[in-house]
Structure 1
Amino acid sequence: MDFRNKRVLVMGLGLLRGGASAAKWVVNHGARVTVTDLKPRRELQRSLKSLGEARRKIKFVFGRHRVSDFRNNEIIVVNPAVPRETLYLKIAKKAGAQLENEASIFFRFCRNPMVGVTGTRGKTTTANWIYHFLKKKYSHAALTGNSSDNPMLAALDKLDSKSPVVVELSSWHLELLPQSGKSPHVAVITNLYPDHLNRYPSMKSYASAKANIFLNQSKNDFLLLNKDNSWTKFFRGFKPKGKIVYFPVSLGLNLEKFKRAYGLHNFYNLNVAILVARHFGITLQEIKKAIKNLPQIRFRQEIILKRKNLEIINDTTATTPEATIAALGRFRNTGELFLITGGTDKKLGFTEWARTVKKCVKPGNLFLLNGSATKKMVLALKKAGYFRKIKPYIFENLSVLIKAVKVNLKPKTYNLSTTILFSPGATSFEKFKNEFDRGERFNRLVKLHF
C-alpha cells in the first residue's frame, strides 16, 4: 500500500493523540491530507500542537463534516471513536474509498513479531506486564496501542523490525484490522463481558469485533484464551488457525500471595503475561525477579495516596460494572471501605454490581456521581434492598462529592484501616471529556482536600 500523492481524509483528530499521529504519519508518507472533526478548533489545540511541522501541509475542517470530503478522497482513516455505521462512511464506501484506521495501517507496515492484546478488562495491565517481562531480554521491545502515551503510528517508524512489539487493541481498532490482511503472531483475549452496547447491537456483534484479532493467523501463530470465560466457546467457533493455548495454567511459580494482594483478575493478567514471556524465551528466574517490580498502571486501581490508616485508589478506567466488581473483590477486606461510583450508561446491566456493592460497602459509605448509569445503579440497589434506612448520596459535582467523603471520615474512622475507592463502573461523557480527564480531576481534588 502506497500513500504517496493519495488523497487521504482523517476522520476525527480527537483528543488522545491517535488521530493526530495518524494525520502526521500519512503526511510524512506523502499523502495529500484533510482532517475533519466535529469538535471546534479551540477544543483540539493540544492535538493540533502535536502535529508539529506536518500541520502546515494539512487542510482542516472543524465543527462539521462535509459530504464532498467523503466522496472525493481515496482513503479514509477513521478515528476509533467514530461509529462504523455513520452515514459519512457509507457515503465514502459508495464512492469507492478505502477505509482504514491506525491499527490496520500499523499492521500493514509493521515487520516486527507482534503480540496483540484485547479483551473487555485487563488488556492495558496485561499488555504493560508482557512488555515489562520482554524488556528483560529484548532491549528494543516496544509497547503501543490503545493509549495516548505511544500511539501506533507514532511508534511505527521507530521500530527495529525484529524485536517484539506489544499492541493493545480495542474492539474499535479491531473493526478494520482485517483490512490489513494480518493478525498478531501471539493474540491474547483476556476475557469478554458486556461493554459498549451503546455502540454494538448485541454481545455477539461486540465479540465478533474482538475475534478479528485472530482471523488472519496461520498455523504458526498462537491464540491465548481464558478457559474460565463464558465467551471462549464463541471464539473457538471461528475455528482459529493458530494454536489455541488456554490460561490460567500452572507455571512453576507460587502466585497465591500475589492473588491475595492484587485480586483474582490481576492473577489472570499476570498468568497470561508470563505465558507470553515464556514463549519469547524469558526464563522463570528472570520473570520471578521482574514480578517484584511490576509497573503500577495509571488509573487502573492505582494507589494515589497512602498514609498510616488511609489509602485512596483511582480506578477511573473502570467503565463497566464488572470492572468495579473486580476492584471491590480486591479491596473489600481492607477495613472501612468507601466507594465513589457512577457515570454515563452504555446500555449495561447493574444487577450483579448491586449485589456486590451490598456485600462490600455500607450504605453510608457509598457516594454516587450522577449520570444516566447512576440512575440504573440506584434502581438496582433499591431492588437489592440496599437503601433501607438512608437515602442514597447523589452528587452533581465531583468536588462537592470529595468534600462530603472527607466529612464522613469521622475521627474514629482514621483509627481504622480505611480505603476510598474511586471506581465509576460507567463511562464519563456527561461530565468529563473521557475517563482520563475524570481521573486527572479526581487526583487534583484528592491532592487539594486530603
Structure 2
Amino acid sequence: MELRGKKILLMGLGILGGGVATARFLFEHGAKLTITDLKSANDLKPSIEKLKDIVDKIDLVLGIHRKEDFLNNDMVILNPDVPLDNKFVKLAKDNGKQIENELSLFYKFCPSKNIVAVTGTRGKTTITNWTGHFLKSFNPKTFVLGNSPDKPFLSNFSNFDKDTNIVMETSSFQLELLNNASYAPRIAIITNLYRDHINRHKSLKEYAGAKANIFKYQNKDDFLILNKDNEWTHFFVSRNPKSKILYFSKKTLPLEDSGAYINEHSDLIFRVDNKEEKSINVADFENKWGGHNTYNLMASFLAAYLHGIRIEKLIDSIQTLPQIKFRQEKVYENRKIQIYNDTTATSPEATIAAIMRFNYKKDNLVLITGGTDRELDFQEWAETVKKYINPKSLFFLSGSATEKMKLALGWNTYNEFEDLKSCLEAAIKRVGDLKDKGVILFSPSSKSFEKFKNEFDRGEKFNRLVVEVLG
C-alpha cells in the first residue's frame, strides 16, 4: 500500500494520542495530509502542540467538516470515535474513496506477523498487558499497543521487524472496519461479551459481530482463545472460525476441548493436544488480585504458552505481574483507609467485578459511582449493590447513568453530589464512622462525558483529589 503523494484526510485528531500518532505516521510516509475535527483549535491544543514540528505542512480544518475535503482526498482515515454511518463517511464511500482506520493501517504496514490481538467487553487491557509481560520474558523485543493514550498503534514502527512480538488491545470501534479486510492476528483473544456501546452498534448482536472481525480472516495455523463461561461464546463459535479454538474456564473443560481451566481443587490446568499439565493453585492469586483476574491470567497464560514459553517460566513471571493503571489500582493507604481507583470501570459488569473482589469487607466497603449513560442495563448491578453495599456507604456522582442506577435500586434517599471532590470527602467521612479499616472504591460503572474528557481524565483528577484531600 503506497501513501507517498496521496491526498489523505484524517477525520478526527482527538486528544488521546492515537490521532497524533496516525497523523505523524501518514506525514512520514509522504502523504499530503489534511486533518478535520469538529473540536476547536483550543480544544485540540495538546495534540496540535505534539505536531508542532510538522503542523505548518498539514492542512487543519477545525470546528467543522467540509464536503469538499471528503470529495477531494483519495483516502479517509477514521478516528475510532467516528461511526461508519456518519454522513461524511457515507459521502466518501459513495464517491469511491478508500476508508481506513489506524488498526487497518497497522495490519497493512506491520512487518511482523507475531501478533496477539485482544478484544472483549471486560478484561482486555489487563490481558493485553499481562500477555505482553509474559512474552517479554521470552522475547525482550515485545511491544504492547492500542487503546491507551500512551500506546497508539502507529507509534513504534521504526522498532518493529519480522521477529517482533506485538500484543494489542482492539476495540469494537476499530474492528468494525475490518469486515472487508484480509488480515488477522496469529492469536486472537475474546475475553467476554456484555451489553455495551449500544449507542454505537445499535444492538448486542451487531456489537458481537464487530468483535468477531478479530478472527474473520484467521487460517488453520492461527489460534482463537475464547471464554467458555461467557454466554456469547457460542455466537463466535457459530461463525465457524478457521483457526484452532482454545477455551479458558473456571470449570473443568469438556474432554473434547483444549485450553486452560480451574479444577475442583483450584488448580490451573493446561490441556493442549490431549495432554494435561498442572501449573498453579489459584487460591493465593485470587486473594491478591480478585477472582475476575483468574480469567485474565488464564487467557494470558494460554497466549504465552502458544508462543512456546514453558509453564515453569510463566509461573515465575506471575510474581512480577504489573498492576494496570486505573484498574482497581490502589492509590492510597494509611492505618484507617485504602482507596482504589477503578475509573476504567465504564460498565455495570466491571463494577460488579470490583465489588466482588472486596466483598469480604462488606461492612467496610464504600463505593463512589455514577456517570454518563450509554443505554446500559443496571439491574444486576443494583442487585449486587443491595447485597454488598450499605446505603450509607454509597455515594453517587450525578449524571444520566446515575439516574438509571437510582431507579434500579429503588431506594428512597441517596447520597448524590455534583462534583467528585464532594463525593470523595463524604466517602472519607463515612470511613471515619466505621469500626474497622475501610475501603473506598471509585468504580463509576459508566462513562464520563458529562463532567470529564474521558475516563482517563476522570482517573487523573480523582488521584489529584486524593492527594489534595488527604495529603
Q: TM-score, normalised by structure 1?
A: 0.96
Which aligned pairs between 1:363-402 and structure 2 lie closer than 5 A?
363-382=391-410, 387=411, 391-402=413-424
Structure-2 residue corresponding to 1:212: 213
Structure 2 gaps, min length 5: 250-259, 261-268, 271-277
Separation of aligned partners in 1, 2:180 and 2:109: 12
Which aligned pairs between 1:89-128 and structure 2 lie closer than 5 A?
89-112=89-112, 113-128=114-129
Secondary structure at 2:61 match in 1: strand
Structure-2 residue corresponding to 1:71: 71
Separation of aligned partners in 1, 2:51 and 2:171: 24
Matched residue type, 2:104: S
**Aligned sequence identity (%):** 49
> In 1, are the aligned partners of 2:364 and 2:439 still within 8 Å (CA)?
yes
RMSD: 1.2
Matched residue type, 1:42: N
Structure-1 residue corresponding to 2:307: 280
Structure-2 residue corresponding to 1:301: 328
For 1:129-170, what per-residue CA distance to the aligned partner results, in whole angstroms no more than 9, with x for missing partners? Answer: 000000101011111111111211112332122121001100
For 1:18-59, what per-residue CA distance to the aligned partner results, in whole angstroms no more than 9, with x for missing partners? Answer: 011111101100110000000000111111122242322210
Structure-2 residue corresponding to 1:9: 9
Separation of aligned partners in 1, 2:43 and 2:126: 30
How big is the shift at 1:109? 1.2
Matched residue type, 1:102: E
Separation of aligned partners in 2, 1:321 and 1:409: 24
Q: 1:418 aligns with which of 438, 442, 445?
A: 438
Separation of aligned partners in 1, 2:371 and 2:31: 40
Matched residue type, 1:343: G
For 1:343-402, what per-residue CA distance to the aligned partner results, in whole angstroms no more than 9, with x for missing partners? Answer: 0000011000000000110000000001111000000000xxxx35xx101111111222
Structure-1 residue corresponding to 2:274: none
Separation of aligned partners in 1, 2:281 and 2:157: 37
> In 2, are the aligned partners of 1:178 and 1:216 still within 8 Å (CA)?
no
Matched residue type, 2:402: T
Separation of aligned partners in 1, 2:428 and 2:283: 35
Secondary structure at 2:81 match in 1: coil
Structure-1 residue corresponding to 2:263: none
> In 1, are the aligned partners of 2:366 and 2:431 still within 8 Å (CA)?
no
2:386 aligned with 1:358: yes
For 1:54-98, what per-residue CA distance to the aligned partner results, in whole angstroms no more than 9, with x for missing partners? Answer: 322210011110011011111100000111111000001011111
How big is the shift at 1:178? 3.8
> In 2, are the aligned partners of 1:368 and 1:374 still within 8 Å (CA)?
yes
> In 1, are the aligned partners of 2:135 and 2:142 still within 8 Å (CA)?
yes
> In 1, are the aligned partners of 2:337 and 2:431 still within 8 Å (CA)?
no
255-264 vs 218-227, which deviates more? 255-264
How big is the shift at 1:407? 2.4
248-257 vs 60-69, which deviates more? 248-257
Separation of aligned partners in 1, 2:178 and 2:333: 42
Structure-1 residue corresponding to 2:172: 171
Separation of aligned partners in 2, 1:17 and 1:123: 19
Separation of aligned partners in 1, 2:81 and 2:467: 31
> In 2, are the aligned partners of 1:107 and 1:180 still within 8 Å (CA)?
no
Structure-2 residue corresponding to 1:346: 374
For 1:97-139, what per-residue CA distance to the aligned partner results, in whole angstroms no more than 9, with x for missing partners? Answer: 1110000000111121100000000000000000000010101
Structure-2 residue corresponding to 1:50: 50
2:427 aligned with 1:405: yes
Aligned residues: 442
Structure-2 residue corresponding to 1:266: 293
> In 2, are the aligned partners of 1:428 and 1:434 still within 8 Å (CA)?
yes
How big is the shift at 1:216? 0.6
Q: List structure 1 runs of 4+ shifted beyond 3 angstroms.
A: none
Which aligned pairs between 1:216-295 and structure 2 lie closer than 5 A?
216-248=217-249, 249=260, 250-251=269-270, 252=278, 253-295=280-322
Separation of aligned partners in 2, 1:294 and 1:399: 32
How big is the shift at 1:293? 1.4
Which aligned pairs between 1:173-212 and structure 2 lie closer than 5 A?
173-212=174-213
Separation of aligned partners in 1, 2:124 and 2:179: 20
Separation of aligned partners in 2, 1:59 and 1:47: 15
Matched residue type, 1:19: G
> In 2, are the aligned partners of 1:140 and 1:160 still within 8 Å (CA)?
no
Structure-2 residue corresponding to 1:81: 81
How big is the shift at 1:263? 2.0
Secondary structure at 2:340 match in 1: strand
For 1:192-240, what per-residue CA distance to the aligned partner results, in whole angstroms no more than 9, with x for missing partners? Answer: 0000111111000000000000001010000000000000000011100
Q: TM-score, normalised by structure 2?
A: 0.92
